[in-house]
Structure 1
Amino acid sequence: MSEMSPLRRRMIEDMTIRNLSPATQRSYLHAVTKFSRYFGRSPDRLGLGDVRAFQVHLVSKGLSWPALNQTVCALRFFFGVTLGHDEIPERIA
C-alpha cells in the first residue's frame, strides 16, 4: 500500500480535531479524492472555478442532492480548514 500524502494526513488530523465521525471523514476524503481525480491534479492546486466545474459535472451526471451537498461540505472543509483559504468556502454554492 502506498504511503499517505502529507495533505491527506493533514485533512484527517483536521477532521479528527473537530471530532467528525469516522463515516463523515471517509465521505469527505472520498469526495476530495474524486475532485482531484476528475482534474488529474492535486486538490491543493485547484480553485473555486474548478469546484464550480466539478459541481456542474456532478449535477449533469444526476448526482442526488444529499450526495452533492456532502461533496460541497467536504470541499468547503478542505479549502477552508485544511488549506486555510477562508475566501473560498463562503463562495462555494
Structure 2
Amino acid sequence: MKLRSLGAHTQQDDIRHVRSFVAFLGRLPDKTGAEDLRQYQFDQHRRAVGPATINATLSALRFLFTMTLKRLEIAPGLSGIR
C-alpha cells in the first residue's frame, strides 16, 4: 500500500473493509469467487450501507484481489455504485 502511495487513513480504511469482508466470509479470501462477492454486496445493501462506504469497500477489495492476491479474474465482479 505504501508503494502505491496510499495515505495512512486510506490504508486503515482498506484494512477495516477487508476485515469486514473476511468476517462475512468466515474464511480467508484467497479462494473467493464471484458469488461470494455478490452475496457480500447484497448483504451490504440489506444492511443499508451507504454508497460511499460500498464504493470504499469495493476499492479496498479491488486492491486486495488485483494487487495483493493477483486474482485479476475477480475484478469484473467488483463494480461500484456510480
State the TM-score, normalizing by the size of structure 1.
Answer: 0.79
Aligned residues: CA RMSD:
1.0
1:54 and 2:40 matched: yes
Partner of 1:77: 63
1:17 and 2:8 matched: no
Identity %: 33
Q: Which has the larger radius of gyration?
A: 1
1:26 and 2:5 matched: no
Stretches of structure 2 that go unaligned for 5 or more consecutive residues are: none
Q: Aligned partners of 1:92, 1:75: CA distance in 2, in Å?
A: 8
- Deviation per CA, 1:9-65, whole angstroms, max 9, x where unpaired? xxxxxx111010011101111111110011110121322211111010001100000
Q: Aligned partners of 1:61, 1:91: CA distance in 2, in Å?
A: 20
Question: How many aligned residue pairs are there?
Answer: 79
Q: Aligned partners of 1:78, 1:48: CA distance in 2, in Å?
A: 14
Q: Which runs of 4+ in 1 moved over 3 A?
A: none
8 Å CA contact 1:76, 1:89 repeated in 2: yes
State the TM-score, normalizing by the size of structure 2.
Answer: 0.89
